[in-house]
Structure 1
Amino acid sequence: MKFWSNFTALAIHSLRDKMDIFFNLFFPAMTLIVLGFVFSGIYNAPTVKVGITGNVPKIEGVSFKSFENISMLKKAVAKHDVDFGVSLSSTLLNVYLNPSNAQSNEYYISLGKKIAAILNKEKGTTPVIKVTKREVSFSEQKLSYLDTLIPGILALSIFSAGIFSMTASLAHLRDKKIIRKLWTTPLFKWHFYGAFILESVVKTYISILLLLLVAVITFGVHYHIQWVNFSILLLSSTFGMMGIGMIILLFSPSAKIASEISSVIYTIVMFFSGVYFPVEIMPKSMQKIAYSLPVIYIVNAMKYVFGLRPMSSVSFYGMIFLMFAGFVLILIGFGKLFKVE
């Protein structure tokens, strides 16, 4: 009975903690919805404005503005009056780009190549070898970037829920001397250990399922989820991340400092997780950092249980075993907290 009383008290405490609810449920949901709309193409892309000189053929989705000479065209590109410029003279097609549009310039170059292809076709010149795209996915279904993004966001949510349950919730209890009071009572320590861990796992499981439900309802995504492996992965990953959170907590004098350290670590991990930025395009030194962090393996395992990528049973359950090692760190940390307090 004492165990369930502790569990109920901790659950009520979490429900009353607005910051805990925000960062464990609403913030991940908002991130999912915003990024989902951005990457799903639901919003119509704005029309690209292209400055031209010469007899340049028109293409769909592009607004053309003619200039009398190349000098005026270059000035328009430099001043952002147009997104990029194209000039045609004889057999040469020049594309003028503004270096401040670094993220869009590759797309503008592709539009320039499309214009060149139309010109070649008009002149009766066709490439000897044509390039076509053929997608071969592990799930044997057509996948969009959004399909692979959602499991990654869920994995990052597990990471944040795990570490912040320690560096926010438990640190808060420590700072208020509640743990010291528990230490002086006849309460079995494992009652508190177990209740806190179970409450954190249940809270994480519910938040992840709600996030998945939001993704399905909002974007209509469909996955072939291995529910048993999904549950095992969620449980073990939560333990692993709670173990990391416990290490941060033990070296932090207050809940504020622990939360700030966790926020910095989360920001760093977010960039190296492979969710928003492909690890493959990073320099080798950065790739080594990425693969030294546990989150990238959680992301890959999450994609595996969602049926998006292959993974051997040895790799999957080996990672699960390492994540369960976080449970040992949690127990050691609890023991030190009670001794210190």
Structure 2
Amino acid sequence: MINLIKALFLESFRNKISFFFGILLPVVFFIMFAQVFSNEKEVSFAYFSDKPLDIPGKYYSNKNALMKDRYNYAASAFVESKKIVVYKNYNDYTVDLWIDDLKRKVDTIDFREIVKINERILDYKVLNEKESIYLGSFVLSLVSIGMFSAINLFERYRKIGIIRRFRVLPLSAFLFVLSFSLSQFIVSLISFVVVRLVGIFLFNINLKVDYLFFAFSFISAVLGMLGIGILLSILFEKFANSVAQFLYTIFIFFSGIYFPIDFLPKFLKNITYFLPIMYIFDNFKHSIFKQDSFGKFLLQNISLIIFGVVLLYFGGKILFAPEE
């Protein structure tokens, strides 16, 4: 079994299409788009006050206007006669420093008594553009590795007669599918290491994750996309690779990883709900900041795993079925 895993693993790097879409292209996109946002302003502040304040941030003279825009800033403050309300949307030390500065500045005017601050503290981290692209590039790599490797298994292996040779060996369909899946987990892990190293050394990105949730998302992503690849191979036997390349383009433009989807018409936005990459991306974001409910996270991962396992099972049966 180990030799089979090794052979399937090495084949993933011999296949130029799988290697290009699975590892090379996501890394290139990551470097290119992350470079664009390398000089972005990390945090921004805004405040409304009924008395003049000398603090950093955009001043709003209209309270309702800031109330509408409050989530566009790392933190926004409403300073009034009896209270201060702070909306904190980004967990970062610079935000805490700004809030402390706000308290001191208010206290030096005429707020001599203790001022109560009601903070809307989010227990998750808001990803900036570089971090979002970093995570998205890894997700895109997993998506393409799973999809193209499964198609390669059906298309190329059949074409050059490898599957026919496997049939004469004392090898069950289950053992073959298991070996193939494990080989793709190893390839995906290498992809993760490559993207992570690029993120650390070129852009100083080092996100803290919940490793249990991350591993769960990793397994479901690989299995789910292997299932997608097998499904495409079954539905489009002659040109599954072309369909996969088209889908890959859709994933790039409609996933929200590299290009914002807010400007899209509503009917195009609705398409994103049918793209597995959106749910995989959400799962990995949940491993960093638990913004969505755990039930949603669990449902999405289990659905991907069940889908992938079922398709891998039937895919193995189809591959090892006697030829007529």
Q: Same fold (TM over 0.5)?
A: yes
Q: What amino acid is the match of 1:317? A: L
Superposed, 1:39-118 pairs within 5 Å as 39-41=37-39
The alignment status of 1:239 with 2:237, answered yes or no, reads: no
State yes or no: 1:317 paired with 2:316.
no
Q: Within 1, Cα distance between the matches of 2:267 and 2:8?
A: 43
Deviation at 1:141, TM superposition (A): 5.8
Task: Specify whether residues 152 and 139 from structure 1 end up closer, same or farther in structure 2 by C-alpha distance, changes over 3 A only.
Answer: farther
Residue pair 2:176, 2:316 contacting (<8 A) in 1 also: no
Give the 3-state SS of the residue equivalent to 2:320 in structure 1: helix
User: Which of residues 210, 213, 227 is equivalent to 1:229?
Assistant: 213
2:318 counterpart of 1:330? no
Give the aligned partner of residue 204 of structure 2: 220
Separation in 2, partners of 1:139, 1:247: 39
SS of 1:40's equivalent?
A: coil
Contact 1:152 1:302 in 2 (8 A): no
CA shift, 1:151, in A, is: 1.3
The Cα shift of 1:19 comes to 4.1
* Match in the other structure for 1:160: 144
Matched letter for residue 18 of structure 2: D
Q: Which residue of 2 aligns with 1:14?
A: 12
Q: By how many angstroms is 1:199 displaced?
A: 0.3
Any idea what SS the aligned residue of 1:339 has?
coil
State which drifts further: 20-29 or 175-184: 20-29
| Matched AA of 1:21 | F
- Is residue 9 of structure 2 the alignment partner of residue 27 of structure 1? no
Tell me the C-alpha RMSD between the 2 structures: 2.4
Q: CA deviation at 1:40?
A: 2.0
Q: Give CA-to-partner distance per residue, 1:190-242, whole Å, 9 cap, x none.
A: 22111111101111122123212211111001312111111110111111111
Taking structure 2 as the reference length, the TM-score comes to 0.71
The one-letter code of the counterpart of 1:8 is K
Q: Distance in 2 between matches of 1:260 and 1:8?
A: 27
Query: TM-score, normalising length from structure 1?
Result: 0.68
Structure 1 distance, partners of 2:162, 2:205, is 44
Tell me how far apart the structure 1 counterparts of residues 285 and 198 of structure 2 sit (CA, whole Å): 18
Q: Give structure 2 stretches of 5+ with no counterpart.
A: 41-58, 75-88, 91-121
| Counterpart Cα distance in 2 of 1:272 and 1:249 | 23
Decide whether the 8 Å contact of 2:200 with 2:206 is kept in 1.
yes
Distance 1:197 1:141 in 2: 33
Find the aligned partners of 1:179 and 1:210 in 2 and give their Cα distance. Answer: 31
Q: 1:18 deviation in Å?
A: 4.2
Shift of 1:20: 3.2
Paired amino acid for 1:250? I
Asked if the contact 1:250–1:337 (Cα under 8 Å) also holds between the matched residues in 2, the reply is no
Change in 2 beyond 3 A, CA 1:143/1:23: closer
CA deviations on 1:26-48 (whole Å, 9 max, x unpaired) are 22211111111012238xxxxxx
Structure 2 residue corresponding to 1:289, chosen from 247, 271, 274? 271
Which structure would you say has the larger Rg? 1
Higher mean alpha-carbon deviation, 203-212 vs 317-326, is at 203-212
Cα separation, partners in 2 of 1:251 and 1:177, compared to 1, 3 Å: farther
Query: How far 1:293 moved relative to its partner?
Result: 1.9
* 1:300 is aligned to 2:269: no
Change (3 A) 1:23 1:169: farther
1:134 paired residue number? 73
The count of corresponding residues between Structure 1 and Structure 2 is 253
- CA drift of 1:244 comes to 0.8
Cα pair distance change 1:190/1:143, threshold 3 Å: closer
Moved more, 154-163 or 272-281: 272-281
Equivalent of residue 277 in structure 1, options 256, 259, 262:
259
Contact 1:155 1:298 survives alignment (8 Å): yes
Q: 1:127 to 1:333 in 2, by over 3 A?
A: closer
| Contact 2:124–2:291, Cα closer than 8 Å, also in 1 | no
1:116-127 correspondence to structure 2 within 5 Å: none
Post-superposition shift, 1:23?
A: 2.8
Q: Which amino acid aligns with 2:220?
A: S
